[in-house]
Amino acid sequence: MQKFANRHPMRAQILKLMAENELTDDCFVEMLDYTIDLFESQGLGSDYYGYHNINHELEVTYVSLLAAKQEQVKLTKNDIKYLYVAALFHDFDPQKSVDKPHEESVLKFISLDKKLQELIKIQQFNDDLQNDENWIRIKDTSIIKIITAAYLDPYKRQLLINIKKPVTPEDLFKKCNMSSSTGYKKFRELVNEGFVLPVGIKEPKKLISLYDLAFSKVTFSFEPENVFVDIIEKIHKIQPFEKEPLKFIQAIKNKHTLLFYDSIEYARKIQWAFLKKGLENNEICYFFTENPSDIRQEFHLAEINFEEFLLKNQLKILGISDAVKFFKKSSTYKPNLKNGVRIVGDKVLFSSKNDDFEKGCTFEKYIHELFPHFNGSILCSYHVDSICDENRKKIINFLWSHHHSVMFAPKHDTGISFHL
């Protein structure tokens, strides 16, 4: 068996790279020697007239192992194993009748050659998966498509492979040499798809969020009619962003913010705090709601004399229909106000009716697209139980992608808040 294998000058170089890449199992060496021996015995050695001889097989293997040592894209041990075998056997057709590669012949030979099958089985590529209880196999094809699409997207892949530790979006974009416009678009998609999670804050006063990967490792494996994705979930010790939304809302400025709440009383405290901050900053404040008169009766619960600001015309309580008119005017309206505008929207636009769903999406999208030209802050409030079950997931995902910040406020003094 070793008659020809030991003679080829590239064997020693490949063995050296194999050792550097930690391919130390005997079966990998035996794969190499078997390939050299088989090609030489079939007349496909270095003297073969065509391009696809043993030199070509070994050159591709050598270059692949050499490339595996680069630092820009970090390969796992499993990745390097697959890379080595794929390179070594990529044109594996010792019985070829013509020089050009014939893929069907390659696949047929590898699948029928007992020695090759034995060597491949000896090296269990999935040892890590079988021995590590943290690995999770994804079987849902829709999830597999999302994961695969993300890694095939050059911008998303670049973002994912550069998240080594909790990082702010802006710092990540700089590391990737990516523009903020492209970066935020792709980053928001990764957040919505569950690849990236908010895990803390970098600067508490400014509430600049830190993000990290949802999983520490991902591998792809292929069979003739199946694709498998395995992941290791990352266990995060999530830092408190702020103890609850009331603190978060104090720092909000020039953001389109989303509030999901269970308790209307708690929601009111958050809304009052948001308006109070604006009034203290001499901003013009609007409260759009279904029942303006009912809101005025609740003012006594607030820690500020709203009536005083109503008389000064600095605070306006209006109906939801007025909100639509207000923002429609805002397409040409730029607040000619030194200190800006602050708005609370207190209306769930998404009921069980499809018409309401479409109108709600259209309105929120319109506001979000208008926001860059809007000198102010907006708080959109949604009672989670009022969102119809039929479209709940779709609605929440839509709202998430059309706001800058989000607050989850299930009950008094609890919740989580962060910038998207």
Q: For the domain that residue 227 is a member of, what is the CATH number?
A: 1.10.10.10
- Asked whether 258 and 284 are in contact (CB, 8 A), the reply is no
pLDDT value, residue 123:
60
Q: Tell me which of 98 and 59 has the higher pLDDT.
A: 59
- Asked whether 396 and 275 are in contact (CB, 8 A), the reply is no
Query: Confidence band (pLDDT; 50, 70, 90) for 107?
Result: low
Residue 54, pLDDT above cutoff 70: yes
Query: Confidence band (pLDDT; 50, 70, 90) for 241?
Result: very low
411 and 285 together in one domain:
yes
pLDDT value, residue 100:
62
Instruction: Answer whether residue 144 is part of any domain.
Output: yes
Q: Which of 75-89, 138-152, 288-302 has the lowest mean pLDDT?
A: 288-302
pLDDT value, residue 355:
55
202 Ramachandran zone, left/alpha/beta (phi>0; psi -120 to 50)? alpha
Q: Tell me which of 112 and 374 has the higher pLDDT.
A: 374
Please name which of 21, 23, 19, 60 lies closest in space to residue 39, comparing C-alpha atoms: 60
pLDDT value, residue 420:
66
- C-alpha 178/C-alpha 96 separation (Å) is 47
How does pLDDT run across 126-156, given as a tens digit for each residue? 454 445 456 777 777 788 888 888 888 889 9
Residue 249, pLDDT above cutoff 70: yes
- C-alpha 240/C-alpha 234 separation (Å) is 18
Q: What is the pTM of this model?
A: 0.46
Query: Confidence band (pLDDT; 50, 70, 90) for 381?
Result: confident
Residue 324, pLDDT above cutoff 60: yes
Domain tally for the chain? 3
Write down which residue in 125, 146, 179 finishes a domain: 125
What's the token pair of residue 410? Answer: 């299930």
- C-alpha 271/C-alpha 380 separation (Å) is 10
289 and 217 together in one domain:
no
pLDDT value, residue 373:
75
155 and 218 together in one domain:
yes
Read off the pLDDT of each residue in 375-399 and give the average, rounded to a whole number: 75
Instruction: Answer whether residue 251 is part of any domain.
Output: yes
What's the token pair of residue 225? Answer: 């009619």
121 and 137 together in one domain:
no
What's the token pair of residue 202? Answer: 């970098």
102 and 183 together in one domain:
no
Domain ranges, residue 209? 131-233
DSSP count for the chain of H helices, then E strands: 19, 12
- Asked whether 62 and 10 are in contact (CB, 8 A), the reply is yes
Instruction: Answer whether residue 74 is part of any domain.
Output: yes
Read off the pLDDT of each residue in 405-416 and give the average, rounded to a whole number: 76
Query: Confidence band (pLDDT; 50, 70, 90) for 234?
Result: low
Instruction: Answer whether residue 292 is part of any domain.
Output: yes
110 and 138 together in one domain:
no
208 and 320 together in one domain:
no
**DSSP code at position 51:** S
Write down which residue in 213, 233, 253 finishes a domain: 233
Supply the mean pLDDT for the chain: 75
275 and 323 together in one domain:
yes
Instruction: Answer whether residue 239 is part of any domain.
Output: no
DSSP one-letter string for 251-320: T--S-EEEEEES-HHHHHHHHHHHHHHHHHTT-EEEEEES-HHHHHHTGGGSSS-HHHHHHTTSEEEEEH
Write down which residue in 92, 125, 158 finishes a domain: 125
> Which CATH number do you get for residue 413?
3.40.50.300
Element (H, E) at 209: strand 208-213
Read off the pLDDT of each residue in 346-361 and give the average, rounded to a whole number: 59
Read off the pLDDT of each residue in 151-166 and give the average, rounded to a whole number: 88
pLDDT value, residue 320:
77
62 and 169 together in one domain:
no
What's the token pair of residue 416? Answer: 């989580």
pLDDT value, residue 176:
92
Instruction: Answer whether residue 209 is part of any domain.
Output: yes
Instruction: Answer whether residue 379 is part of any domain.
Output: yes
- C-alpha 268/C-alpha 117 separation (Å) is 68
Largest CA distance in the chain: 100
107 and 189 together in one domain:
no
Q: Which of 108-117, 206-215, 232-241 has the lowest mean pLDDT?
A: 232-241
219 and 326 together in one domain:
no
304 and 260 together in one domain:
yes
Instruction: Answer whether residue 163 is part of any domain.
Output: yes
Torsion of Cα atoms, 41 then 43 then 45 then 47, to 10°: 140
